[in-house]
Structure 1
Amino acid sequence: MRVKAAVPIIVAGLVLMLVGIGLQTLWKPAETLTSSTTRQTTSAPVTVILPEARGRQSADVEVTVDGEGPFTLAVGRASDVEAWVGEAAHLSVTGIDEDVLSTEYTEGEASVPDPRGSDLWISEEAVQGSTSYRWSEPVEGEWSILLATGGRTTAPTQISITRPNDQSASLALPLIIGGALVVVLGIALLFIAPRDRSGQGRPDAPGRRRPPGRARAADGGRGGAPSTAAPSIAAPRVILVLVGLLGAGSLLAPLPALAAVPVDVERIPDTATPTATATAIASATGDPEPPLATGAPSPGSVASGPPVVLEEQLERILRAVAGTVAAADAASDPDLLEPRVDGAALETRAAAYALAAADAGLPAPAPVAAAPVLLDMIPTDDQWPRTLVALTQGTDDPVPQALLLVQESPRENYRLVSAVQMLPGSTFPTPPVPGATGPIPLDEDGALKLAPQEAVRAIADVLTEPDGDNERIFEENSFAEAITRFQAEVRADPGNSAATISFTHRAQEESTQALSTGDGGAMVFGYLRHAYSSVPASGDDAIDLGGTVYETLTGEAASATGIDISYGEAVMMYVPPAGSSDQVRVVGAVQQLLSAQLR
């Protein structure tokens, strides 16, 4: 019986081993698979390789592109690439059909702008003729490749993608190991001796009496029915164990999921944060997460995907902005600012250049620092306009500066619209979860204590009427104190008794921007125009401008008609969430003289 049982087992083991060796040699599948577009593919000014062209691969794939002449290969979020293409005619590589890449042609505009230098791209390469590109996913999400030259030139259409073969990790090794174990089992069966049954299953020898204890065991005890006879050898139990393993898939099929292991909550280290611990327990038990603790991101700020700008993109954008501003500062040429500066930042800097031409002694605007980035606020929303904030501090800067950048449309780059220095002693609000911030409605308070536009109007009102109704909305801050103190001193100056003086601060609502913070509040960026007028009280009086910057700018030492002076004031405020007892806090501000004109 032992030989009859062992031989088939040994043979089966050898067969498994031979099959495994064959899968590693004679029948080994290719490690990679290559799919290509057909020669009859329709050309267009843009070719887009969609995420589906990767197949089900999460690993890197090799993309080979054969073109004629120069072109740009750019990688971006799938939604960003689609937005950049817009209404242009384009060829899309939509997926894989065995060894052929399926394509789809979309009619549209016959030309596109040059894609080089777009802030949308994670990476880009200038290619001459053909290239092989290793396509990897920078972070989790959907990513596409764009091929274009610009203008009406057709983009390359001869594309091949080489990807790992899912079947290349065959069953060879499990078969070899499993076969070897089966062979060892078969050999072991040949040497296992039969169990000593001590007369079980056969009658006692003549003249021999069965001991009472053995009789009870054989009869099942207390007169019970006789028990079933035990197997003749011990091997079948081992065979059942091996067959069970094979059936469970330890060698030939995927492993089943492990059973849940109880968590000893009392042994969780003291260093674990309450929020993290609660989330981990909720995930393990399937219970909903508890309410967020104070200071945690609000439910509306949960990240919904990769941020619209990754770290390397942000660094590249800031270098471009800082380089543009530095070149314009060196030349005092506002036209050089146009590609990368707009809004309040453009107005105040252009004014500084003009004033410096009239009076070289006036202070220059603070330089824009690209690094280091102390923190950032980057949204995940795939809509436009897009707004982001980077807090930087150059080596020569006494305080950090907040850079507000806006991208108006997919084919435009980010522009600096506000550069605000933080006030001494101020702190930046709780930063949001990476990629979880985003623009919020400007005219609705919603989850905020004050609507962003209302907050900007309120700070303008406080600067105009320091004792007005909005005084209690704001915490004390050095910016408002300096402005209101200057205004009070000018009015109280006896030398100005023969002049009618007015100070008015007005919010420029088209410049207001707001982004959510991690605690449910908002960072609000506003821009004010400060009008300072001094008019003689009577026809016999004159405004003395001697020795002031206004004399330099107007060329007059006195004015019998009066003078109008204009300042630009960029402010950065923190508006707390609704229900908070905190006041609105002015975190940063900058003031720039814009003009001085005689009436």
Structure 2
Amino acid sequence: MRFVLAIVAFVLAAVMIMLGIAQRTVFLEPASTSLSVTVEGGDRYAVITSKALRANPGNQTITVSGPGTVFLAYGRSADVDAWLSEEAHAEIGFARTTGKLTSTSAGEADPAASPTATPTAVPTPSATAAPDAPAADAEPAVAGANPAGSDLWLEEFTADRDLKTRINVPAGISVIVASDGTQPAPTKITLDWPADNATPLAGPLIAGGAVLLLIGLILYLLALMHMRRSRGPRRNLPKGPRMPRLPRAPRPKSIKANEITGPRRSITRSFLAVVPVVLVSSLALSGCSADFWPSTSSKPSAAASPTAGASDAPKQAEDVPPPAVTVPQLERIVRKIAVLTRDADVALDAEALATRFTGPALEQRLANYTIRTKIKKFAALPALPASPLTLTLPQQSSAWPRVVMTVILDKDNPTVAPTAIVLRQENPRANYLVEYAVQLEAAAQVPGVAPAVIGAPLIAPDSKLLLMPPEQIAAAYADVLLKGEASEFFDLFEAKGDTFRTQVGLEKKTEKKAKLPKTASIAFGTAVGTGKTIALATNDSGSIVAVSIKETETVKPVDAGATVSPEGASKALSGVSATAKGIQSIYGDQLLFHVPAAGSTDKIVLLGFAQGLISSAELK
């Protein structure tokens, strides 16, 4: 009976183990779902739509192949469409009826197909354009533009011939594929999604089979022991008459089996002992994977969770535009600008600087470069730190121009005052440019602002909802700098903590005038700068406003035959050692204010400033 039970256990063990192994081999489903499409038509760009990316749940693994350079980037679908505008491109979609990817042509005919076609430049929209005007109506696309390096992309990748990357993007994200903007886009695109090929019964079957195998071995050994005991001495029987003993014939000498093959019994025993141990151990180890066992956790798998930062924004109301940038996107932009600025400051490269700066920030740095070429020991402007971003306030906008403000600490030198920069992007194919770069006041308290994932609306320059319309801030503060307490706007601005006023205000101007020789006279003037007035709403119904001012100092000789001799930076910019006509120096001021809401008892507070000599010339 024990032999029968052992055989049954062996058979069941073999069946269970084979079924468990078969689930992980023969019957195992693919680990991923794959869809491919071939792009035809020779378009320079291809767009993988959000619908195609989310045809199946889970992470998206994208494989792109083609001759030459392969470029891939992903961003918000609206931004991708705005960058392409009406330019011809292949659109990769998903047909649920067939379960396959589709490739269709979109946009206008490819200009490259026509021998007479010429690229058209992107016109810069005017500053007075309606903020909600569609970008596609404002600027046509540039034929053959390279999408690499655009600030619109959340992330981008480049490889030679073959590119494979894994992303996990939510709805509303598209992928743009290209070569270099002039050559046709890569033709082979494959999307893969992870598939749940877990076999929760494989582990129990293999483990159960191993247990049955062990039980069968035990039953088999017990049956052998029982059979050996049953061969003991039996009861004595009566003896009969003894037969006569015959003589023995001689036998040939026998050869023992162990002399030929060795101790067979010991090998057999060792084999029988080792096989179950090895088999059970290997099966036990193979069943350690979580895919072999039923899941007891209710948490979603890592493959199904979104990539960090990809969908960290709460759902926007339908009538509220999304923020211009995400925090990771802005971190990447600021890092690129910081590296470029550092290199340009060292090499005094004005051309490179102009690719990332504009307005008052560009004026001040270019003047500093000019001065440093002539005065080697002249101090450079404060470096632009790359991280960390302690405050990010993007404009709520799905159109262009777009504005973003951020405050950056210098992690390498925490004693340096934080730097606040205001960036502007004129159109989808333009990069963000630094228009204002100021250092915050030591006592500055930046008001509460909306989270970066929501953004803030841009306040109109003539808005009456603030204590003073943003477009009037620059002129009013310039009047305070020039007249002091005699200015009609003096009481509107907070004097406590305003170190800029103590450096260039009325008292400082009076002191400078007193130190001037009697043979010369000095006159001061102020005017609104060329920088655009930018105002972003704060949580207290107020606004953070960035403006620029130009201050002039005109020095003239009083006596006939007397001359004025500029020194230092003024001499470097003007190129004049002495003049009988006089010198006019212009200083550029970049200012950042907090303007409270209309009706508030609070005052307008200066949050930060930057000043530098931007021009000096002989009077005519």
Match of 1:512 among 530, 533, 557: 533
Q: What displacement does 1:584 show?
A: 0.8
Farther off after superposition, 56-65 or 380-389: 56-65
Q: What displacement does 1:482 show?
A: 2.0
> Aligned partners of 1:392, 1:327: CA distance in 2, in Å?
19
Match of 2:546 in 1: 525
1:34-49 → structure 2 map (5 Å cutoff): 34-37=34-37, 41-49=40-48
Q: Comparing both chains, which one has the higher relative contact order based on Cα–Cα distances under 8 Å and sequence gaps of 6 or more? A: 2
SS in 1 for 2:487: coil
> Aligned partners of 2:372, 2:40: CA distance in 1, in Å?
59
Cα deviation per residue 1:386-408 (whole Å; 9 max; x = unaligned)? 21122112233521111222222
- Indicate how the Cα distance of structure 1 residues 558 and 50 shifts in structure 2: closer, same or farther if over 3 A, else same: same
> Aligned partners of 1:141, 1:502: CA distance in 2, in Å?
61
SS in 2 for 1:586: strand
Match of 1:472 among 482, 491, 502: 491
- Indicate how the Cα distance of structure 1 residues 116 and 559 shifts in structure 2: closer, same or farther if over 3 A, else same: same
Instruction: Give the counterpart letter for 2:182 in structure 1.
Output: R
Match of 1:276 in 2: none
> Aligned partners of 1:441, 1:29: CA distance in 2, in Å?
57
Match of 2:461 in 1: 443
Q: Which runs of 5+ in 1 are unaligned?
A: 1-20, 174-299
Matched, 1:348 2:348: no
Match of 1:158 in 2: 188
Match of 1:118 among 140, 145, 150: 150
Match of 1:293 in 2: none
Q: What displacement does 1:553 show?
A: 5.5
Farther off after superposition, 553-562 or 434-443: 553-562
Farther off after superposition, 305-314 or 348-357: 305-314
- Indicate how the Cα distance of structure 1 residues 163 and 450 shifts in structure 2: closer, same or farther if over 3 A, else same: same
> Aligned partners of 1:35, 1:116: CA distance in 2, in Å?
26
Would you say the 8 A contact 1:533–1:562 is kept in 2?
yes
> Aligned partners of 2:607, 2:540: CA distance in 1, in Å?
16
> Aligned partners of 2:604, 2:372: CA distance in 1, in Å?
35
TM-score by length of 1: 0.67
Match of 1:564 among 567, 584, 598: 584
1:241-256 → structure 2 map (5 Å cutoff): none
Instruction: Give the counterpart letter for 2:584 in structure 1.
Output: D
Match of 1:84 in 2: 83
Match of 1:313 in 2: 329
Matched, 1:127 2:159: yes
Would you say the 8 A contact 2:459–2:536 is kept in 1?
no
1:261-340 → structure 2 map (5 Å cutoff): 304=320, 307-340=323-356
Among the aligned pairs, what percent are the same residue? 28
Q: What displacement does 1:520 show?
A: 2.2
- Indicate how the Cα distance of structure 1 residues 161 and 577 shifts in structure 2: closer, same or farther if over 3 A, else same: same
Would you say the 8 A contact 2:43–2:110 is kept in 1?
no
Q: What displacement does 1:321 show?
A: 0.8
Instruction: Give the counterpart letter for 1:474 in structure 2.
Output: F
Match of 2:597 among 560, 572, 577: 577
Cα deviation per residue 1:203-231 (whole Å; 9 max; x = unaligned)? xxxxxxxxxxxxxxxxxxxxxxxxxxxxx
1:467-506 → structure 2 map (5 Å cutoff): 467-476=486-495, 477-484=498-505, 485-493=507-515, 495-496=517-518, 499-506=520-527
Q: What displacement does 1:146 show?
A: 0.5
Would you say the 8 A contact 2:322–2:454 is kept in 1?
no
Matched, 1:409 2:427: yes
> Aligned partners of 2:67, 2:570: CA distance in 1, in Å?
62
Match of 2:556 among 535, 548, 559: 535
Would you say the 8 A contact 2:39–2:188 is kept in 1?
no
> Aligned partners of 1:301, 1:501: CA distance in 2, in Å?
57
Instruction: Give the counterpart letter for 2:388 in structure 1.
Output: P
Would you say the 8 A contact 2:324–2:404 is kept in 1?
no
Q: What displacement does 1:147 show?
A: 0.5
Cα deviation per residue 1:275-328 (whole Å; 9 max; x = unaligned)? xxxxxxxxxxxxxxxxxxxxxxxxx99995764333332222112111111111
Instruction: Give the counterpart letter for 1:452 in structure 2.
Output: P
Match of 2:101 in 1: 101
- Indicate how the Cα distance of structure 1 residues 132 and 360 shifts in structure 2: closer, same or farther if over 3 A, else same: closer
> Aligned partners of 1:59, 1:447: CA distance in 2, in Å?
47
Q: What displacement does 1:350 show?
A: 0.7
Instruction: Give the counterpart letter for 1:130 in structure 2.
Output: D
SS in 2 for 1:144: strand
Matched, 1:136 2:156: no
Matched, 1:149 2:169: no
- Indicate how the Cα distance of structure 1 residues 142 and 549 shifts in structure 2: closer, same or farther if over 3 A, else same: closer
SS in 2 for 1:419: strand
- Indicate how the Cα distance of structure 1 residues 354 and 131 shifts in structure 2: closer, same or farther if over 3 A, else same: closer
Cα deviation per residue 1:472-498 (whole Å; 9 max; x = unaligned)? 1110012123212221223445734x5
- Indicate how the Cα distance of structure 1 residues 40 and 392 shifts in structure 2: closer, same or farther if over 3 A, else same: closer
Q: What displacement does 1:45 show?
A: 0.8
SS in 1 for 2:517: helix
- Indicate how the Cα distance of structure 1 residues 499 and 131 shifts in structure 2: closer, same or farther if over 3 A, else same: closer
**Number of equivalenced pairs:** 449
Match of 2:53 in 1: 54
- Indicate how the Cα distance of structure 1 residues 81 and 364 shifts in structure 2: closer, same or farther if over 3 A, else same: same
SS in 2 for 1:81: helix
Match of 1:596 in 2: 616
Cα deviation per residue 1:47-86 (whole Å; 9 max; x = unaligned)? 0001011345452133333323322011111111111111
Would you say the 8 A contact 1:563–1:598 is kept in 2?
yes
> Aligned partners of 2:592, 2:436: CA distance in 1, in Å?
9
Would you say the 8 A contact 1:439–1:513 is kept in 2?
no
SS in 1 for 2:399: coil
Instruction: Give the counterpart letter for 2:179 in structure 1.
Output: T
Q: What displacement does 1:529 show?
A: 1.2
- Indicate how the Cα distance of structure 1 residues 40 and 146 shifts in structure 2: closer, same or farther if over 3 A, else same: closer
Would you say the 8 A contact 1:301–1:436 is kept in 2?
no
- Indicate how the Cα distance of structure 1 residues 435 and 505 shifts in structure 2: closer, same or farther if over 3 A, else same: farther
Q: What displacement does 1:109 show?
A: 4.0
